[in-house]
Amino acid sequence: MENFTIPTRDTVSAENQNLFDTLTKVVGRVPNLYATFAHSEHALTNYLNLQNGKTSLRAKEREAINLIVSQVNDCLYCLSAHTAIAKLNGFTDDQILEIRSGSASFDAKLDALVKITKSITENKGHADEVLLEAFFNAGYNKGSLIDVVIAVGDKTITNYVYALTEVPVDWPAIPQLV
């Protein structure tokens, strides 16, 4: 496999340098996976626009999606990053592990979200009808479903970039599922 180096601020375009500066102000650093997007002139801008777009989903819902999609796609980088972010959004270690396992028994609405997201991801956009009905019965609507698909796509992008580049994980280590 081609060895992917982590671009530094000095090695990227002026546009990407500005993004690196913004990320450093917001996150405190440029995470390795984001820096890797800067191998492309436009990918980091495009990805950040997608990631930061408006959605009907709350932050906790987005993190639940990020965790289950990354688990299904076996992305250690994104699992590590979103475990840390999920904790900042109020999830406990046990809740994070449960979400990664495919459910959220501690919250019925979140449980329906996690289950439909897992089904969508595993089945390449198709979902179990029973899970889809449970999703709507939990209080989500058709717009929510489209926002879930956008979030699945968002996370799949970073999962695939990590799979192709295997950049070093620069987030705290996480436990493996049993």
> How many domains is the chain partitioned into structurally?
2
174 domain residue, yes or no? no
Could you report how far apart the first and last alpha carbons of the chain are, in Å? 30
Threshold 0.85, pTM exceeds: yes
75 and 43 assigned to the same domain: no
91 and 144 assigned to the same domain: yes
172 domain residue, yes or no? no
- Residue 18's domain comprises 9-51
118: left (phi over 0), alpha (psi -120 to 50) or beta: alpha
3 domain residue, yes or no? no
45 and 79 assigned to the same domain: no
CATH number at residue 123: 1.20.1290.10
47 and 66 assigned to the same domain: no
From CA 69, how far away is CA 124, in angstroms rounded?
11
133 and 104 assigned to the same domain: yes
Sign of CA dihedral 48, 53, 58, 61: negative
31 domain residue, yes or no? yes
How many other CB atoms are there within 10 angstroms of residue 42's CB atom?
A: 12
How does pLDDT run along the chain (178 residues), one tens digit per residue? 568 899 999 999 999 999 999 999 999 999 999 999 999 999 999 999 999 999 999 999 999 999 999 999 999 999 999 999 999 999 999 999 999 999 999 999 999 999 999 999 999 999 999 999 999 999 999 999 999 999 999 999 999 999 999 999 999 999 988 7
22 and 76 assigned to the same domain: no
Closest by CA position to 70, among listed 143, 162, 173, 146: 162
130 domain residue, yes or no? yes
